[in-house]
Structure 1
Amino acid sequence: MNNFIPTARLQAAKVYALLYRVKTWPDDWRDFRKKRPWAAFGVRALILLAVAALLAVFIFLQSVRMGAFGPLPAKEDLHHISSYLASEVYSRDGSILGRYYLENRSYLPYEQLPSILIKALIATEDARYFQHNGIDWQAWCRVLFKTLFLNDASQGGGSTISQQLAKNLYPRQDYGRYSLIINKIKEVFIARRLEALYTKEEILEIYLNTVSFSENTFGIKVAAHRFFNTLPEYLRPEQAAVLIGMLKATASYNPKNHPGRSLERRNLVLQRMAQDGYLPAKMVDSLQQLPLQLQYQPLTVNEGPATHFRETLRQELKELLQKLRKENGLGYNLYTDGLKIFTTIDSRLQTYAEVAVARHMTKLQRDFTEHLGDETPWESDSLFREVVYQSEVYRRLAERCLPETTIDSILSVPHPTWIYRAPGVDEKVELSPLDSIRHYLSFLNAGFLAADPGTGAVRAWVGGIDHQYFKYDHVRSRRSVGSTFKPIVYAKAIQKGIHPCAYTPNVLATYWRYEGWKPRNADNKYGGVYSMEGGLIHSVNTIAVQTALRARPKAIAELAAQLGLKGHIPGVPAIALGVADASLEEMVTAYGTFANRGKRPELNYIRRIETPEGKVLVDFESQVDSSRWEHVLEEQEADIINEMLRKSPVKGTAMRLRYRYQLNNDLAGKTGTSQNHSDGWFMGYSPRLVTGVWVGAEYPIVRFRNLRLGQGANTALPIFAEFMLQVNQDCDFQELSEATFPEPSLEVQSMLNCPNVIWQERDTLEQLPTAVASIQVSPMPAATSDNE
């Protein structure tokens, strides 16, 4: 207490002395002016300049605030922040198949943002985030001092997360040499307004959902999927550090394009997390030793799973959304409204299908190139010229009325371009437009479709070998179906009451009624008599033709339409050899009817569509009602076809499934090859999954030159086999692998209880009656001797 009294007196004395000096300032100033008038004038001038500068700064700040350099967002605008959200396409197992967007962005609420991500962001971008009100003056002073006096620019710009959010929401404008200062001031005002309207957690939520991660990728959800194929909630500390590290300069620290820089930046983020106590130092030391371990998943129009399916879906969604309205009466925008489209596609089956197509088509293309040798794939130059005339580049030049010689000269000039080489492989070369047409004409393509016959749900859809270079979707392309049509012929014969064990002679016959038509077998072998099963599983053309004549071709065409084939089906005898054109979608529907024991499934692939908030706009899944499906075949009739086609992998044209690929599943199937082996088909199915595969070139003129290589058993069946081998190895699909056909009735078993083929002496065989239908003569297509 004794020490306190002198101290208090000392402080009081100091205050009294200061007040006395203030009181004497006017007298001191007068004395100074008399003694040093010019110095006093200078001091006054400096004071006036300082006041003027402060006033100018104040006026400048107020002009920015009042919108002299562009209006600042009002509180109402900031209260309703909205960004373009990508619409997401989901598989039935919850994986993201793709997005439709102007800006690739998805939204995630704060509760679903992992704490490790928040900690990494704060430690790296704004350590005092929870202490300031939008502007960190301490950080600004530090940056100013180190930049101006120590020439150290590594401290960054001193912007808080709130200021960065302001910059993200309202991109900077160009104001010439004053752009930086004006934009910074605008961001300060916006940041203060954001802090007044939102909590710190809400600002973090908005920031992490709007920030760019380069490659037209916005928001942490999309970034986590693109670079690590995961959801934000499953990000590990080192992965979160990579993504947060990108924010300093997204292009420079992109881990895909600049892995070295990204690794260095990641380690710096981890180090700062350790400094701020968010991670133990020992853990950080271990994490810094890890490689990046990216799982890059670009979901673009041409990249990612189910590219052809997503494009087909996009076109249908645009039409569908025109019928839907928001509460305000406006329509939904597929690219900006963040819709969630749930599909029936299974991402794992889709992957297996794409792998099977890529694996086999790579080998088949190599075989095709070796098979042709020095020959051109299109055989005739005139046919090649027709393709050139149909090309877009030729039509554009022809519209300018240029002579053909001039057009050819222009089309012969090489240009640098990227070309397709193999699945997942492209190359930049110098190539002329004509050479480009030649290059792409030489490729074989493929289509693949798998669906559940019980629900009609599509499980896998592969429209081609590469969407970037081959846009045409071969799931819906219409091609000659070859012998995959034959089960329809026999189904109609059974409906007509023809017994499955009614034998038909395998003879080469000329049908003079039909302009001397002489259908041949693919192997040119004849003899013996065949039951329906024998004729079907061995794909004997002569048996199919005679059966079609008994069942009546027009009636067969009508049944084909009932089974789901939508195009024109000629009601002529050659229908037995598959002269009709159909798509994979239609053929899977038809074979789905067999698998479904006579009920024609209605294929579907959209389950439902929701808003970002979870409101269901349309629910197609609940509308699927198999009880309303048309019963095209009686159950017994379908069972007979199924039982016959189950023998095809055992002793028919699909035997490769057993002896080469060791597939012992309970499967039914049928191969098919069109005229001149331009199209190869395989339809394989069980009661749980129906799969169709087509292989061929964009133009039928490009084909294998012999049946051994060009038949569906060689071109299409291996894709089905590769697919099923992967399914069998996945224990999650045990129900598909172990699916079995129901035991047929005793009556069906009895009807099929006969040898497939009986070999007899020639003289006896010639005495067998030959069935020739007495129908009106019709113009016939070219002889289809290659169909098998």
Structure 2
Amino acid sequence: MAKKAATNKTNTKKTSFKKYIIGFWVLYFLGALSVLFIFLFASWGVFGPMPDFRQLENPETNLASEIISSDGETLGKFYLSDNRTPVKFKDLPLSIEQALVATEDIRFYEHSGIDARGTLRAVTYLGKRGGASTITQQLAKLLFTETASTNRIKRVLQKAKEWVIAIRLERQYTKQEIMAMYLNMYDFNYNADGIRTAARTYFGVEPRDLKIEQSAMLVGMLKNSSYYNPFRREKLTLDRRNTVLFQMFNYDYISKQEKDSLQKLPLETDYHSESHNAGIATYFREYIRSYMKDWINENPKEDGEKYNLYLDGLKIYATIDSRMQEFAEKAVNDHMKDLQKEYFVQNTPKRNSTTPFVNLSKAEVNGLLKRAMKQSERWRHMKYDLGKPDDEIEASFKEKVPMQVFSWEGEIDTVMTPMDSIRYYKSFLRSGMMSMEPQTGHVKAWVGGINYKHFKFDMVKQGKRQVGSTFKPFVYATAVDQLHLAPCYEVPDVTHCIDANKYNNPKPWCPRNSGGETTGEMMALKDALANSVNTVTATLIDRIGPAPVIDLVHKLGIDSEIPEVPSIALGTPDVSVYEMVGAYGTFANQGVYVKPVLVTRIEDKNGTVLFEYKPESRDVLSSEVAYTMVEMMKGVTESGSGVRLRTTGADKWNKVYQEIITGYPWDFKNPIAGKTGTTQNNSDGWFMGIVPNLVTGVWVGGEDRSVHFRSIAYGQGASMALPIWANYMRDCYSLEELEISDQDFTPPEEMTIDLNCGKRIVEEGEQPIEKPDTDDGGFTSDF
């Protein structure tokens, strides 16, 4: 019996053990099946939509459109929330690849999207020795899954989706493509979406130029870019960077000596904001925004849908040269800062009770301020968006509010009334500058003002001002063309009155020279243009009439309205810098007008060409007439109002320049054609400068014509605008690869006009005597 009982007990134990074994395998297979079904359900979209093949081929990401300069630099971007411009793997430095693999996924090139060893380690140690997410899984999460849930069950389901997507990504893309996509997708903060924008934002370089320690910092930020922020948590970010460097050493990507030396380096960030208000060519970029708006409306996609400038990743290839643009902005900023300082000295409330306005009554000043108030964005918003009554809006302009205002020493946080801020901003002199290659029409530099954030109005194309004596070459060109006059042709320098009956004017028009003096002697046209003699110009316009001049001006690309009156000869029309540069380019291009070009090509995000520019040109003048005008305008810089470009600065009569002009003296030796311009009361200063392959126009003045210098010494074009051209050109010449010509202009094959006027040529080294700029001439608005 005892033996039988023992046998039964043994059989019972075997049966129980067998049940445990069966139960284990049942649970194992059920678990395996559960995991399998979880992945199957995830792939079938049971836990949420899954991307199909087409989505994997073209994952939907918001891509910023990019303006690319003629020398391959990014001038700016258009984006809403995602400032992302993708780069290919070949454009990434080796240090980024090594840092990322060493820190995030050392078996990246071995697994197929899921790292089994890493997953087992994470499960065994409950994540205490690192997570299991591969680079591919992290990309899947960025591309196709929602924010990580705090609910464990939901998080498991999300993880299953990530695994499935990761495996599909591995099948669809190469390892290099996956790494590039991940780095392009990550948000590095400060509108730095993707590795390219991050490299430019934090270090001011393209990704390919990142140093090892810079790559390590950016890879370190991948853990949490908000937490590891070099501007808010410098010490934490530094430690994280050093951890990445240690991992690179740990996996033999760098030596111990490199690791030790790199870990001792500070972060040394170089912040470059890519906001719409910052960076270079801000005014140009804003113009391109409006240009692209029109282009998009006129050029829909094949399916009829319109391109989105902020999401579709368009590449806009511009003619601007980033190096020349920087030179132009520096020239404007340096000179305008000096000029503004002198303006403030001369226009203090003690010296001028209506400052910043000159020679106005109190009533006139109040009228200007009130008009500016009603043109302000604040007034527009309160009246049209909020529906406030006028008296309430006007009262708000008298209440002090905190604000940040512009100054040449940096932005100032202050408290003032909006009306006081209007007066404050009125006191600043403005500027516009454009530089163009006359043979192609390519615009190489565009500076629409002194600070885009605070002065948004673009004085290159939007703004139009009286052009003063820079209009005179159009009168002379018409005379040379139609009357076949040579530069040696002589006209008496005497007061010339134009009959009132010709233009139904109440009285004759008798323009004066600067200072009102005439020599009474015969004067060659070349000398008259060089010294901007008003009486000679009046004689010419009387002989040819305004109509032929206006016809020529319109053929030269100036679309502004020009009244048919003789006073246009002295520059009364309002014209933009953009128009003036295009017109002067015709003189340098042998009489052929070429319309200024801003965009040469537009591509979509895949590199497909959507638009290519076709030059627009027309013959306006004969090459002989055009060359004659260039030779006549060379006299402006050889013996006329632009002779300051030639001087060494040792002359006592240049005291004003030596006191207020940064960069003076210039001592240019190469041939330069040009023309200064100054309008009545010194309200506008112009300089148009030409060398064989570059035409540049500069305007300086106040927002209102009543904001100006009292004396011509400071207010003439030779003092206000010419220095900007000179400093810009000196910088351009310093960079030989720009290939800005310092040679003479090429004459036509046949030239019958006597350009030297039979006079002695000034010997080399002989100092020319400067004559005062006579651009003002006291012209009146009688016509």
TM-score, L = length of structure 1: 0.83
The CA deviation at 1:479 is 1.2
Match in the other structure for 1:43: none
In terms of mean alpha carbon deviation, does 117-126 or 135-144 score higher? 135-144
**Alpha carbons of structure 1 residues 258 and 480: separation in structure 2 relative to 1, 3 Å:** farther
Is 1:553 equivalent to 2:546 in the alignment?
A: yes
What runs of 5+ residues in structure 2 fail to find an aligned partner?
A: 1-7, 648-664, 762-776
**Alpha carbons of structure 1 residues 501 and 324: separation in structure 2 relative to 1, 3 Å:** same
For residue 603 of structure 2, what is the amino acid of its counterpart?
A: E
What runs of 5+ residues in structure 1 fail to find an aligned partner?
A: 1-19, 31-39, 41-45, 757-781
The CA deviation at 1:515 is 3.0
For residue 646 of structure 1, what is the amino acid of its counterpart?
A: K
Quick one: which of 391, 415, 418 aligns to 2:401?
415
**Alpha carbons of structure 1 residues 651 and 785: separation in structure 2 relative to 1, 3 Å:** farther
In terms of mean alpha carbon deviation, does 389-398 or 548-557 score higher? 389-398
Offset from partner CA, 1:538-571 (integer Å, 9 cap, x none): 1122222222112212222222112221111112
For residue 56 of structure 2, what is the amino acid of its counterpart?
A: L
Match in the other structure for 1:337: 312
The CA deviation at 1:646 is 0.6
Question: SS at the partner of 1:240?
Answer: helix
The CA deviation at 1:71 is 2.8
Offset from partner CA, 1:30-81 (integer Å, 9 cap, x none): 9xxxxxxxxx9xxxxx999999999999998887676565434345533442
Give the conservation status (yes or no) of the 8 Å contact 1:639–1:748. no
The CA deviation at 1:719 is 0.5
Quick one: which of 428, 440, 446 aligns to 1:443?
428
Offset from partner CA, 1:483-531 (integer Å, 9 cap, x none): 1001111112222234533433334466562433442323333323322
Give the conservation status (yes or no) of the 8 Å contact 1:707–1:786. no
In terms of mean alpha carbon deviation, does 101-110 or 270-279 score higher? 101-110
Give the conservation status (yes or no) of the 8 Å contact 1:661–1:721. yes
Is 1:784 equivalent to 2:762 in the alignment?
A: no
Is 1:200 equivalent to 2:175 in the alignment?
A: yes
Give the conservation status (yes or no) of the 8 Å contact 1:341–1:609. yes
For residue 635 of structure 1, what is the amino acid of its counterpart?
A: S
In 2, the alpha carbon distance for the partners of 1:615 and 1:59 equals 43
Question: SS at the partner of 2:688?
Answer: strand
Quick one: which of 706, 713, 722 aligns to 1:717?
722
The CA deviation at 1:224 is 2.6
In 1, the alpha carbon distance for the partners of 2:86 and 2:759 equals 65
Quick one: which of 283, 300, 303 aligns to 1:308?
283
Question: SS at the partner of 2:515?
Answer: coil
Quick one: which of 490, 514, 517 aligns to 1:522?
514
Matched residues, number: 719
Give the conservation status (yes or no) of the 8 Å contact 1:97–1:299. no
Is 1:732 equivalent to 2:737 in the alignment?
A: yes
Match in the other structure for 1:270: 245
For residue 583 of structure 1, what is the amino acid of its counterpart?
A: S
Is 1:222 equivalent to 2:210 in the alignment?
A: no
Aligned counterparts, 1:637-676, within 5 A: 637-659=625-647, 660-676=665-681
Aligned counterparts, 1:745-760, within 5 A: 747-749=752-754, 752-753=757-758
Match in the other structure for 2:571: 578
Match in the other structure for 1:96: 74
In 1, the alpha carbon distance for the partners of 2:130 and 2:374 equals 59
Question: SS at the partner of 2:294?
Answer: helix
Offset from partner CA, 1:173-211 (integer Å, 9 cap, x none): 486755755544543443344345444343223212222
For residue 461 of structure 1, what is the amino acid of its counterpart?
A: W
Match in the other structure for 1:17: none
Match in the other structure for 2:686: 681
Match in the other structure for 2:583: 590
**Alpha carbons of structure 1 residues 22 and 693: separation in structure 2 relative to 1, 3 Å:** farther
Offset from partner CA, 1:406-431 (integer Å, 9 cap, x none): 333322223333322238x3233333
Question: SS at the partner of 1:105?
Answer: coil
In terms of mean alpha carbon deviation, does 117-126 or 58-67 score higher? 58-67
In terms of mean alpha carbon deviation, does 652-661 or 404-413 score higher? 404-413
Aligned counterparts, 1:276-287, within 5 A: 276-287=251-262
In 1, the alpha carbon distance for the partners of 2:544 and 2:603 equals 49
Match in the other structure for 1:506: 493
For residue 713 of structure 2, what is the amino acid of its counterpart?
A: R
For residue 667 of structure 1, what is the amino acid of its counterpart?
A: I
In 1, the alpha carbon distance for the partners of 2:345 and 2:122 equals 67
In terms of mean alpha carbon deviation, does 197-206 or 706-715 score higher? 197-206
Is 1:696 equivalent to 2:684 in the alignment?
A: no
Match in the other structure for 1:459: 444
Aligned counterparts, 1:314-329, within 5 A: 314-324=289-299, 326=301, 328=303
The CA deviation at 1:270 is 0.9
Quick one: which of 160, 166, 172 aligns to 2:134?
160
In 1, the alpha carbon distance for the partners of 2:257 and 2:394 equals 69
Give the conservation status (yes or no) of the 8 Å contact 1:556–1:571. no
Match in the other structure for 1:769: none
Give the conservation status (yes or no) of the 8 Å contact 2:369–2:419. no
For residue 487 of structure 1, what is the amino acid of its counterpart?
A: P
Give the conservation status (yes or no) of the 8 Å contact 1:584–1:694. yes
The CA deviation at 1:684 is 0.3
For residue 566 of structure 2, what is the amino acid of its counterpart?
A: P
Give the conservation status (yes or no) of the 8 Å contact 1:340–1:611. yes
The CA deviation at 1:573 is 1.4
In 2, the alpha carbon distance for the partners of 1:589 and 1:301 equals 27
Question: SS at the partner of 1:741?
Answer: coil
**Alpha carbons of structure 1 residues 574 and 786: separation in structure 2 relative to 1, 3 Å:** closer
Give the conservation status (yes or no) of the 8 Å contact 1:673–1:786. no
For residue 483 of structure 1, what is the amino acid of its counterpart?
A: S
Match in the other structure for 1:768: none
Offset from partner CA, 1:106-161 (integer Å, 9 cap, x none): 2333344333211110111122334444344654565577678xxx7xx6654322
Give the % identical residues.
39
**Alpha carbons of structure 1 residues 129 and 370: separation in structure 2 relative to 1, 3 Å:** same
Is 1:632 equivalent to 2:627 in the alignment?
A: no
Is 1:605 equivalent to 2:559 in the alignment?
A: no
The CA deviation at 1:737 is 4.3
**Alpha carbons of structure 1 residues 661 and 168: separation in structure 2 relative to 1, 3 Å:** same
**Alpha carbons of structure 1 residues 606 and 60: separation in structure 2 relative to 1, 3 Å:** closer
Is 1:430 equivalent to 2:415 in the alignment?
A: yes
Max Rg structure: 1
**Alpha carbons of structure 1 residues 21 and 161: separation in structure 2 relative to 1, 3 Å:** farther
TM-score, L = length of structure 2: 0.83
In 1, the alpha carbon distance for the partners of 2:381 and 2:52 equals 51
Give the conservation status (yes or no) of the 8 Å contact 2:593–2:618. yes
For residue 501 of structure 1, what is the amino acid of its counterpart?
A: C
**Alpha carbons of structure 1 residues 414 and 140: separation in structure 2 relative to 1, 3 Å:** farther
For residue 69 of structure 2, what is the amino acid of its counterpart?
A: S
In 1, the alpha carbon distance for the partners of 2:636 and 2:778 equals 25
Offset from partner CA, 1:727-751 (integer Å, 9 cap, x none): 1221223x42423113587743357
Offset from partner CA, 1:750-780 (integer Å, 9 cap, x none): 5723599xxxxxxxxxxxxxxxxxxxxxxxx
In 2, the alpha carbon distance for the partners of 1:23 and 1:527 equals 138
In 1, the alpha carbon distance for the partners of 2:744 and 2:92 equals 46
Match in the other structure for 1:172: 146
In 2, the alpha carbon distance for the partners of 1:481 and 1:336 equals 41
In terms of mean alpha carbon deviation, does 69-78 or 156-165 score higher? 69-78
For residue 488 of structure 2, what is the amino acid of its counterpart?
A: C
Match in the other structure for 1:775: none
For residue 459 of structure 1, what is the amino acid of its counterpart?
A: K
In 1, the alpha carbon distance for the partners of 2:332 and 2:413 equals 24
Match in the other structure for 1:34: none
Match in the other structure for 1:36: none
In 1, the alpha carbon distance for the partners of 2:234 and 2:334 equals 29
**Alpha carbons of structure 1 residues 577 and 270: separation in structure 2 relative to 1, 3 Å:** same
